[in-house]
Amino acid sequence: MDGGLPPITLILGGQRSGKSRLAETLIEDAAGGGLYLATAEARDGEMTDRIAAHRARRGPDWETVEEPLDILEQIVEHAAPDRPILVDCLTLWLSNVMAAGRDPGRAVEDLAAGLEGLAGPVVFVSNEVGLGVIPANALARAFADAAGIANQRLAQRADRVLFTAAGLPMVLKGRPL
């Protein structure tokens, strides 16, 4: 993989598709490590285990900041040319936004607008939730719709967009890996 990172990268994929590992690899290849902006909250044992697995996979060259809602503030504060930021993940952030009663469309627009002129590269990870069965309840359908719109908006803003399936990346936008 080429070692340079564009200003904004978006990595999409399904659950367990390899998207987080790909994001980590891109940042490690470019800078040895970076800032991991975690949006997940350990609300149950299963999520606690997932978070622990992600932490164990990263080496000492990673700093972790946990922020479930106000990710743009953290991105702006920590952006630096020599330390890329990995935001993992946008769909968990979006579910946090919705659970907090905030407008997901406004939050996504504010995020996309706030990425202009950052001091360093950012890699976003997001689930592509629209490839499966249509959810059976209104809340789940609203979330899937909001996630799809968020992914489209960030893909428009991104310099590079990758899709992962079975651990294999495909370039949807931007230069090849």
Give per-residue pLDDT as tens, 18-30.
999 999 999 999 9
Stronger pLDDT, 109 or 56, i.e. the higher one: 109
Q: pLDDT digits over 124-163, tens only?
A: 999 999 888 888 899 999 999 999 999 999 999 999 999 9
Q: Where are the domains of the chain?
A: 8-172
Please give the Cα distance from 161 to 154 (Å, whole number).
9
Average pLDDT, integer, range 105-117: 97
Q: Is pLDDT above 60 for 61?
A: yes
- Name the 3-class secondary structure at 131: helix
Give me the CATH code for the 8-172 domain, please. 3.40.50.300
Stronger pLDDT, 156 or 1, i.e. the higher one: 156
Does residue 78 have an active-site annotation?
Answer: no
Catalytic residue among 19, 54, 58, 160: 54
The pTM is what?
Answer: 0.93
Q: CA 59, 11, 134, 39 torsion: positive or negative?
A: positive
CB 50 within 8 A of CB 56: no
